[in-house]
Copies of this chain bind each other. A is one copy, B any other.
Amino acid sequence: MKIIKKPYKLTARIKAIKKNGKTVGFVPTMGSLHEGHISLIKKARKENEIVVLSIFVNPTQFGPKEDYKKYPRNFSRDKAIAKKAGVDIVFAPSAENMYPEGVSTCVEETNLSKILEGAIRPGHFKGVTTVVLKLFNIVQPDISYFGQKDYQQAVIIKKMVKDLNLDTNIKVLPTVREKDSLALSSRNIYLNQEERKSATILCHSLTSAKKLIENGLTNTEEVKKKIRTMIKKEKISGIDYIEIRELETLQPVKKITGKVVILLAVRIGKVRLLDNMIIK
């Protein structure tokens, strides 16, 4: 497994790989790898000749009051996990390499990025689309792998790829969960024991909502109310949103007749937790 830190070095390497006609699978991450990331790497390993993993805690997607500085970082541990999972190249640039002084170009999705997470974290998705496009340009992936856990992010990246005529595929893989159903997230380590217990309410309430809908409940307001009631029974700091939306446009749905996604953002202790479920 090769570790590359400079963008231009990876560009050169990828050029050689592409010249040999090899396919490149790409897993972009902020490191602090867990089973969710590993599932993406393993899928990439199966479907491509070369697997590139990026580890980059992207400063531009964090708000000024967010946890950029204390975001968990453990490069040696990540390297070991990546190697074991079958990564060929780890791309781990510094912030200075990705954003040299005077950088002034950004990529923005101007519609889907303003709602839900985008409304609560202004500028977040602009940071995400900009860094992901930069990474795509460096890695030139045939297929890139994202987790469904960050559902809105995946939808926005797919939109960017379409809008900017990028010739690359995006695959979104199912959320990986702990045994008790909590969606894996690098930020789960911030939860204390009690909060960790309460956190299972996100997935449990989604599963209950799914059952209600499968049993014929179609009024989204009623479904949302049920979820809210369930979540409020736990010791939480607050609910940012409970939304039922169309899968691609993320527009609100009044009556559930086709596929929808239920999206949750709940604060427990000082941690914001996201979860979602697609209802078919």
Contact = CB atoms under 8 A, between A and B. Distances in A.
Contact of A105 (B11, B134, B140, B159): B159
Interface residues of A, number: 30
Nearest to A110: B104
- As for how many copies of this chain the complex holds, the number is 2
A111 interface: yes
A34 interface: no
Interface stretch (A163-171, A188-196, A239-247): A163-171
A253 interface: no
A181 interface: no
Contacts of A257: none
Contacts of A109: 104-105
Nearest to A130: B164
A133 B129 CA distance: 14
A78 interface: no
3 residue pairs, one from A and one from B, having the closest CB atoms: A105-B163, A104-B111, A137-B165
Interface of A: 7, 11, 15, 19, 21, 102-112, 129-130, 133-134, 137-138, 140, 159-160, 163-167
